[in-house]
Amino acid sequence: MTTATNKAYTQQKAPTNDSKGLIAKIIEYEPATRQALVDDAVLTRLYDLEHSLDQKLGLDSKLLYLDSNISIGGEFIPTAGTIGLVLTDNQGQPASIASITPNSNNKPLITDTSQPCAFVIGDMAKNGQLWAVNSLYDGISLYHHLNVINDQPATILVNLISWSFESMIKHFAKVQPVYINTTVDKKHKLDTLAGDNVKAVITTFDILLELEQGKPFDDIMAEATITDLQAEAWGNPEPLANDPSTPTPYPMEAWRGLLKNVVEKIAYYAQVPNAMAGQCVLGALAHIGQRFIDAPMGHKHMPASLYLVTEGESGSGKSVAMGLSHYEIKAYEREQYQIYLEQLNEWETEKEILQGKERKEYLANNPRPYNPITMFGDATIEPILDKFINGEMDNASWSTDEAGQFFNGHTMKGDTAGNALSALTTLYSDGAVNRLRSQKSQHANPRSQAYDVRMTLLLMGQRIVLEAALTDPMMNGQGFLARAMIACPDSLQGQRVWNDPKRRQQSPYDDADLIAYWEKCRTLLDPAPINDPSINSKGRIKVRWHDAQAEQAFYDGAQAIENRQAKGQALEYLKAYASRMAENASRVASLMAFFEGRYTITTDDINRAFMLVEYSTSERLRYLDATPSGEQNDSEKLSSWLVDKARGKNPPILNRTDIYNGAPKPMRKNNKALQNELDNLESMGHIKQEHEGKKKVVYINPKLFI
């Protein structure tokens, strides 16, 4: 090749950086001749290969005869009488010259080591896989065996700077995958390349040695392990579809002492998950405790009521579990109802005996006895609210193992649903009822308000009911579900044991822990009078923090929840729910202390309460933005689109502007919606968002293409 030809090469491929006059040096020298190689076996073989490539692929010769010393930055490098190899960057542009003395063991002199480069054998743009080696001999041999003998198109990157092999690999991996051969015992040396677009071909023996021994390339690759170092560094992308089938592990360590034993015993006897048993016990504690205590929150106190929603299929043991947790409550309710019936009968009899003025005075001084039942299973919200307003009760719970009666009943249908949900949220937060209605009806009630009343909900139902409710816009928008503690454990149906004689002989009604629990519940339901100045007009005590450490633990937990509501964090889209997490923790801690006969919350109490709240939050997140079966949510749509658009790109990278213009709706040309979804995909390990200069790009997890 003549000097004129080298000039043409330079004009066609203008370099991006020629600050040291590299192109001028290339133009200055003639291509090397075979005679100039002084019978150097490696260089002679390279010359023959380069000459063949020049004819076959139309490539410019990258072997020069350096007849003088090269001046770089005013300093001369002793290159006279040597062979120069033109080193290029990942765009095929000249980046440096390696000066090699034929038949010498001297290391090559590199004119510029400031940027990554390699001696490239072949055509990167046209010639198959890109393989990297660390010596010129290996590069020539590998090219010959792959391209000539095995008909495997490949381009070889030869690193001639001993300390720059890794940076050279990273540089070329930016434009296409780079293959590196290593043996099993040396694979760890590639750890520094994790995350780069590199394919590690791991073999028992050196691949070049096996090729030289005549083993076919396809056979070698069939036995090799090919590890994608880029994908290996990413980790597995998390699923984007909401999967209510994968429950959160229930934190049994949140319970202690007798209550922990009770949760475990209810789970055992009812053969239900611990989560279901735990929710039932919380429901029982709230039913009893809301009557006697208020929980601390900031500079005031709030009801100790709880709203509990638990998933359980038909026949999964919901009724049995609640029967055990509420056993003494139901017994107490029956006793109070029997007393009521006796009082009502007495009142009716007296009313019938008396006549005229005496009857009128009797009725004025002895109103009809109120039904004392405070635990409802099959009801609607309106009569319960009326009982509060009429002063018939101050505390109640709606506890049912058929949540469909609540979510699908008359109360939650049509125009009444919004009012009912609003009433329940106010009851939870303020303990107040507002039922202002027209007074024109003959049955009009002049009373419209009730204050300082309490309501607990323990709703257990099938997935078909709860899944629809947990994703219902009104349920979420009105704030009802934001106040609920949720559990959706796997059913034990199919794993339960019925034919074990030992188990059949064990009765929960003879169990020491359950008996002790029921006795404690009886004591709390009908307590001895308490002389405490903090008791309010309804007989409730304001629970306090045991000490400054306990209070600080509460606010530390609240702050952690607040931080997770920031943009890109786990609770960003669940702010309404997150803002109630600390409230529920205080209520649960207060109820735990109350059961143990205390009116102060310890650090241990609040930390354990936060465990149950965090469990509930994880369960709630599983239902966030849940989509019908077979339908993709926005995150899935965007991820699928990104994978499709980046397929075949090496590395898989897209320009953020292109994504903005082409993404599926509703993200297309909607910057806020798009960024929210990109942030979500990044948090789930699907993508990485990077800046390359002034350009924003998105890398797609290679494992999504598998």
- Confidence (pLDDT) at 19: 37
Q: What is the per-residue burial (b if ≥16 Cβ within 10 Å, else e) of 48-73?
A: ebbeebbeeeebbbbbbbbeeebebe
Question: What pTM was estimated for this model as a whole?
Answer: 0.57
603-623 and 463-470 helices, crossing angle to 10°: 90
CB 220 within 8 A of CB 206: no
Instruction: Please give the Cα distance from 128 to 152 (Å, whole number).
Output: 8
Enumerate the CATH 1.10.10.10 domain ranges in the chain, comma separated.
634-705
- Confidence (pLDDT) at 17: 44
- Confidence (pLDDT) at 498: 92
Right CATH number for 634-705 from 2.40.30.10, 3.30.1360.180, 1.10.10.10, 3.30.70.1380?
1.10.10.10
CB 383 within 8 A of CB 338: no
Instruction: Please give the Cα distance from 434 to 447 (Å, whole number).
Output: 9
- What are 574-626's pLDDT values in tens digits? 777 788 899 999 999 999 999 999 999 999 999 999 999 999 988 887 765 44
Alpha carbon separation from 97 to 166, 280, 362, 484 (Å, rounded):
19, 78, 116, 71
pLDDT-flagged residues of the chain (< 70): 1-25, 55, 57-60, 72-73, 233, 241-246, 408-417, 436-446, 471-478, 528-534, 536-537, 568, 623-631
- Confidence (pLDDT) at 303: 96
CATH no. for 256-436+446-623? 3.40.50
Mean pLDDT of the chain: 85
Enumerate the CATH 3.40.50 domain ranges in the chain, comma separated.
256-436+446-623
Determine phi and psi for 273, rounding to 5 degrees: -65, 155
Q: Is the peptide bond before 244 cis (omega within 30 degrees of 0)?
A: no
Placement of tokens 């075949």 in the chain? 648
- Confidence (pLDDT) at 191: 80
Q: Is the dihedral of CA 108, 109, 115, 117 positive or negative?
A: negative
- What are 167-179's pLDDT values in tens digits? 999 999 888 889 9
- Confidence (pLDDT) at 437: 55
- Confidence (pLDDT) at 445: 60
Alpha carbon separation from 262 to 155, 509, 512, 591, 602 (Å, rounded):
70, 12, 10, 15, 21
